[in-house]
A and B are shown apart, each in its own frame.
Chain A
Amino acid sequence: MVEHSFSRKVFLEGILFLVALSFSIQSGSQLAMAQNESQAEAKRQIDSAFEQARNGNLQAIAALAELPAASASLLRPYVHDESSALRREAISVLTALGGKEASPLLVEALSDPNAGNRERASSGLYFVYDPQEIVALDHAGPALRKAVRGHSVSATSVLLLRYFPGKETRQVLEQTRDNPQAGKTKLRSWSPVVPARLPALVSLSALGDTDSRNELLKLIDAADPAQLEFLFNAIREVDSPRVLHALKQCLQNQTQISAGVPAGATPRRRICDLAVDAFVKRLNLKVSFELAEHQRYEDDEIKEVIDGINKTLPR
């Protein structure tokens, strides 16, 4: 009797398993079908938006930012379109979408014949992705080196190169550092302009180049507000405690800057306010006040940050 009920139980469990399996296969295939339909719909939307864009109407491009991130791979044909303007739109949509499908295409766009498009692709990678995600991408290092060898140097490409150590990278960065014709660059459209040499110094210093680090230390002592603003905005790339300690002196710097509030609004922020934001985030400092990206900090709040740095960073 016991044996009979046991085999019956096994039989019922087997039936249940088969039903569950069949249901799972069915729902799996339904899910796959739904995904296919969603991809097909995304493709229709992308193709239609770019067809309109080709005729000069860019209105539909904005809506593409609402697509699922997985749709990014559908933009590949437009990343390589013959029209520079359409490639520019594709790069902007990829940046807005983000995600792992978009990043390899942004790497491909680093080889765009148009310097402005290369710069956009590089900014997209720099501001949207964790550096380790970029390091994991095929061809990212060679593509960045090629972009920096080009005539128009983008600050973000130069900064990203610090994550691709090696002889070739050092050569490219040294060329940028030592080339008086390398010109000027900026981190974002609204950022102050700095010599292309500055991001090269930051990257070379992060790659352990002693000369560049020493030059960076000297530069910090005499830096103008534009250069300091650049360094605080790129503080993620500064790994040397010596350089960070040197930047710490800016927590006393009351020079007003244009970042943080619209032009004409007062009180304007100062270098020291930007430095507080940068240090608290970079060193993950625990402070008793909240960061406020438009406001000035009080003297005791700034002192708290200086104390935090001294406790956190070795000398």
Chain B
Amino acid sequence: MASFQELTTNNGFDSLATPRWQMVPFGARRAVRLVDGDRLAVTSSNTRIATVTTAKARNIRSVTIQGVRQGTCQIVAGTGATRAVLDVAVKRRVTVRTAFHYVDDGRVQRTARRIANLNALIAAVNGVMLPQANVQMTRHSAAALRMRQNLRRVVRFSSHLPGVRARQHEWDDVTDNADTTADFNVFFVVEYEQDDTPLRDNAQAGTLGGNCIMEDNVGEPDGETLAHELAHHLGADDKNAPAGDLMTPAGRKLRKAEINTMNP
């Protein structure tokens, strides 16, 4: 039986969706592989949304989908019992204009990150988000954030925890400095925690209400961690499986549900 499969890794294809699913950017193309369908005719259910062309090279039949207009349609190969179906969503680009703040209280709370490395970090984020979700992070502003307040080593989100003193909730003190003209504000700090044990390094970053606080040592590649936080900013939730997905503790893959949440 014929089936559509991923041709390029992490390019907006979801093999776990039923039918399988492909994100196509508006005005751009995505190619998928058609297996066991060499002789099948391939058509789009709505050519005003997406058109298809096929090609064969090195024994691989590829189907190229061109995004014509924002919307959804199906790509169908063949008819009857052997037919393969691919759901397609053509999505416009979502641009997230991001302000970056390098927190420095003049004492121990002084991020080791440097503005000089920022463009590489943004490129890494976009390497995850653009091909899969047509979401682009752009640099709106970047500057040192000098704070008079002694933040100590750990910046905390703790106002949800009963019994923790209000002054230990430094989240608001930091995020009050957000750039109000940006869509998303990222604050780099030495250490960030959001539970009852601030001296144990459990959290790497936290995102809420247009703000993200991200610590220096995140364990995973920085670009994946920030892409994960950007996904939270756009409404995607954490999950435990499948391993290797962006919204699990480590990975890059985005699924249909997350992409549709971030970029409806």
Measuring CB to CB, which residues of chain A are less than 8 angstroms from any residue of chain B? 58-59, 61-62, 64-65, 88-89, 92-93, 95-96, 115-116, 151-152, 181, 183-186, 188-193, 258, 260-267, 269, 292, 294-296
Contacts and interface: CB of A to CB of B under 8 A. Distances in A.
B141 A190 contact: no
Interface string B138-166: 11111100000000000001011010000
A190 B232 contact: yes
Contacts of B142: 59
A183 B69 CA distance: 13
A58 B234 contact: no
B157 A265 contact: yes
Interface in B112-149: 138-143
A193 B235 contact: yes
A62 B92 contact: no
Contact of A116 (B92, B203, B233, B238): B92
A190 B234 contact: yes
A88 B181 contact: no
Interface string B19-30: 000000000000
Interface stretch (B54-62, B77-85, B206-214): B206-214
B99 interface: yes
Given A262-B157, A295-B162, 14 more contacts: A58-B141, A62-B141, A62-B181, A65-B180, A92-B182, A181-B71, A183-B71, A189-B183, A190-B209, A192-B235, A261-B157, A261-B160, A262-B232, A263-B232
A258 B247 CA distance: 14
A62 B182 contact: yes
Given A263-B206, A264-B203, A65 B264 contact: no
B206 A61 contact: no
Contact of A64 (B97, B181, B208): B181
Contacts of B71: 181, 183
Given A190-B235, A292-B159, A265 B264 contact: no
16 contacts: A58-B138, A59-B143, A62-B140, A62-B182, A89-B181, A93-B181, A115-B70, A116-B93, A184-B260, A189-B233, A193-B264, A262-B208, A263-B237, A266-B195, A269-B160, A295-B162
Contacts of A95: 181
B53 interface: no
Interface of B: 69-71, 92-97, 99, 138-143, 157, 159-160, 162, 179-184, 194-195, 203, 206-210, 232-235, 237-238, 260-261, 264
Q: Most A CB atoms within 10 A — which of B97, B210, B233?
A: B97
Contact of A88 (B95, B157, B237): B95
Contacts of B210: 188-190
A62 B179 contact: yes
B211 to A, nearest CB: 9
B141 A61 contact: yes
A295 B160 contact: yes
A65 B157 CA distance: 27
A297 B93 CA distance: 39
Contact of A62 (B99, B237, B261): B99
Given A65-B179, A181-B71, A184-B260, A264 B238 contact: yes
Given A58-B97, A292-B159, A262 B207 contact: yes
A49 to B, nearest CB: 10
Kindly name the residue among A193, A264, A266, A292 whose own CB sees the greatest number of chain B CB atoms within 10 A. Answer: A264
A294 B232 CA distance: 17
A92 B97 contact: yes
B152 to A, nearest CB: 19
A21 to B, nearest CB: 43
Contacts of A186: 235, 264
B172 to A, nearest CB: 10
A115 B160 contact: no
Contacts of A93: 181
A53 B231 CA distance: 26
A189 B142 CA distance: 21
A52 to B, nearest CB: 11
Contacts of A88: 95, 97
